[in-house]
Chain A
Amino acid sequence: MDTIINAEINSTMLLDDSMPILQVENVSAYYGAFRAVKDVNMNIPAKAVTAIIGPSGCGKSTLLRCFNRMHEVAHAARVEGKIMFDGNNIYSIGTDPVRIRCHIGMVFQKPNPFPTMSVLDNVVAGRRLSSLWTKRSEMEELAEKCLRQAALWDEVKDKLKQSGASLSGGQQQRLCIARALAVQPEIILMDEPCSALDPIATIKIEDLMRTLTEEYTIVVVTHNMQQAGRVSDMTAFMLMSDDRAGELIEYGTTQQVFTNPRDKRTEDYITGRFG
């Protein structure tokens, strides 16, 4: 629990002091000829929650998907610019996106456990499907560890053999978080992880995000500004510019962005005077 407070106290110095885990340099994302994200520069601090907020269509999800090379999965999608992770540009030629995704995991808007697999198999899917041989006992150990980290163990320990789809929405989403943790990534990207959940399940996920910062870096996209306030240390605000490309308007500590935004557009958005 102490780390929660530490994270809070540290948040003000996150930008200056510690080495960022992700350095985003002049990143633009395209769908065919259409530029969806324009010239984003930001440094994402390690072991903290960074929230990306903004109105719908401002490119925040697209930007997030650039961080683990999921953007290029879409047809005719491409990325320009550099994203430095661990001292290497993840977009350099010869970098295998599959490797990147092992280090930078992702949780999606709608809970998407594999319906054909049991709860246990879901958790270890990333590990099992990417290596040739896995020991059953090891997998069970890993599953328990990750389910505990995702605060789900107590709820599902008697249902490990059931289908992942048999859980409630909130449990499914935590299962997906456990599944992402099982790959042992350093960063977890979350794309509106609570938008399909009820308020109670939402709060559980939010608490989970805070506790996960003990070990992981989290980048979360949310259209729920209040949620960004509640969970994040850093907040990035994006907006669609005149040419319909998403731009990073402001990036700073959550406290600064929420109490004293530098840009008038940020202020208009967070005070609800937008549009």
Chain B
Amino acid sequence: MAGRALLPRKIINYFMLGVCALGAGIAIIVVCLMLGYILAKGLSFISLDFIISESVPAGYEGGGMRNEIIGTLILVVLGSLIAVPLGMLTGIFLSEFGSPKVAATVRFAADVLAGVPSIVVGVFAYIVIVSQYGYSAFSAGAALSIIMIPVVARTTEESMRLVPGSLREAALALGITRWRSVIFVAIPGALTGIVSGIMLGVARIAGETAPLLFTALGNNFSFEGLARPISALPLQIYNYALSSDKNWQEQAWAGAFLLVMIVLLISLAVRWMSRKGRA
């Protein structure tokens, strides 16, 4: 009796399974190809020298991206300094204090902000800051923070929401005020999630190039202060990759490799942390 109905159903079943597997396979293949290519190319050009020495003009041999690495670190720290407090406060507001209507509006705004192309963010920062004060590390950090805020805000909100309401009730029932219960009960409970969010945000802005084009400008010399243009890894990769100098192109590969490694390591750390947080 079931035989007749079963056959087409089984076929459809296998077909859909195949389609899904194909999609997943393509995604994995693309990632593997990309990583493999960068790894293969980058590994052959990377060296200790690349990390510790300054860049050299086109046509010369050797040189490295020390200034760019330091610049990226500074920019990431700068962006985080602005985005982490703002993002966390936004996330806490969304999950703890906002009335449903206000929260929905803020959440929508954060989602839109997250979806804004990074080049638009760059243009925005250029108009608002750079056109007034000139190219600077600070303007780049501000631009990066705009990208980071929604990431931090949403992950903070999500992980705060995952803290069971029963814990908040427990705190309230002990005669603890609302804000103290948020600080001492809800935030500690959500901490691993919040830190994961911050690290994801860091990974995101570490690789951003477009906003830097309009704000950091780039700088071949070592760090000169927050008010001066600053160099950064993605920026230099962009510049070098487009040049015709062979040494520069090789260094671009090495830089790309370094950048991918940083982002990959952060992602792995986040995964490890969130697994540990759950256990």
Q: Say whether A associates with B.
A: yes
Task: Check if B170 is an interface residue, CB within 8 A of chain A.
Answer: yes
Q: Give the distance to chain A from B277, nearest Cβ to Cβ, in Å.
A: 11
Choice from B166, B175, B185, B189 contacting A130 with Cβ under 8 Å: B175
Q: Give the distance to chain B from A164, nearest Cβ to Cβ, in Å.
A: 11
Task: Check if B173 is an interface residue, CB within 8 A of chain A.
Answer: yes
Task: Check if A199 is an interface residue, CB within 8 A of chain B.
Answer: no
Within 8 A of B (CB), among A73-112: 73, 75, 98-99, 101-102, 105-106, 108, 110, 112
Q: How many chain-B residues does the 8 Å CB contact rule pick out?
A: 20
Residue-wise, chain B 164-193 has the 8 Å CB interface mask toward A (1 for contact) of: 101101111111110011001100110100
Assuming the A-B contacts A112-B169, A116-B189, are A75 and B174 also in contact, with contact meaning beta carbons closer than 8 angstroms in the complex? no
Residue-wise, chain B 143-180 has the 8 Å CB interface mask toward A (1 for contact) of: 00000000000000000000010110111111111001
Q: Give bound CA distance, A25 to B177, whole Å.
A: 27
Interface of B is mostly: helix
Within 8 A of B (CB), among A136-189: 176, 179-180, 183
Q: Which residues of A contact B171 (CB under 8 A)?
A: 114, 125, 129
Q: Give bound CA distance, A113 to B172, whole Å.
A: 13
Whether A126 contacts B175 by the Cβ 8 Å rule is: yes
Within 8 A of A (CB), among B174-232: 174-177, 180-181, 184-185, 188-189, 191
Q: Give the distance to chain A from B209, nearest Cβ to Cβ, in Å.
A: 39
Task: Check if B100 is an interface residue, CB within 8 A of chain A.
Answer: yes
Whether A101 contacts B169 by the Cβ 8 Å rule is: no
- By beta carbon, the residue of chain A nearest B183 is A129
Whether A114 contacts B185 by the Cβ 8 Å rule is: yes
Q: Which residues of A contact B188 (CB under 8 A)?
A: 114, 116-117
Q: Give bound CA distance, A182 to B167, whole Å.
A: 17
Q: Chain A contact residues (Cβ within 8 angstroms of B): what range?
A: 20 to 34
Q: Which residues of A contact B175 (CB under 8 A)?
A: 98-99, 101-102, 105, 126, 130, 183
Q: Give the distance to chain B from A149, nearest Cβ to Cβ, in Å.
A: 16
Within 8 A of B (CB), among A34-79: 68, 70, 73, 75
Q: Which residues of A contact B172 (CB under 8 A)?
A: 70, 73, 101
A-B contact count (CB 8 A): 73
Q: Give bound CA distance, A74 to B190, whole Å.
A: 21
Residue-wise, chain B 61-102 has the 8 Å CB interface mask toward A (1 for contact) of: 000000000000000000000000000000000000000100
Q: Give bound CA distance, A105 to B172, whole Å.
A: 10
Whether B181 contacts A129 by the Cβ 8 Å rule is: yes
Q: Which residues of A contact B176 (CB under 8 A)?
A: 98, 125-126, 129-130
Q: Which residues of B contact A115 (CB under 8 A)?
A: 167, 189
Q: Give the distance to chain A from B187, nearest Cβ to Cβ, in Å.
A: 9
Q: Give bound CA distance, A130 to B174, whole Å.
A: 9
A residues at B contact (CB < 8 Å): 68, 70, 73, 75, 98-99, 101-102, 105-106, 108, 110, 112-117, 125-126, 129-130, 176, 179-180, 183
17 A–B contact pairs at CB < 8 A?
A: A73-B172, A75-B100, A101-B172, A102-B174, A105-B174, A105-B175, A112-B166, A112-B169, A115-B167, A125-B184, A129-B174, A129-B176, A129-B184, A130-B174, A130-B176, A180-B173, A180-B174
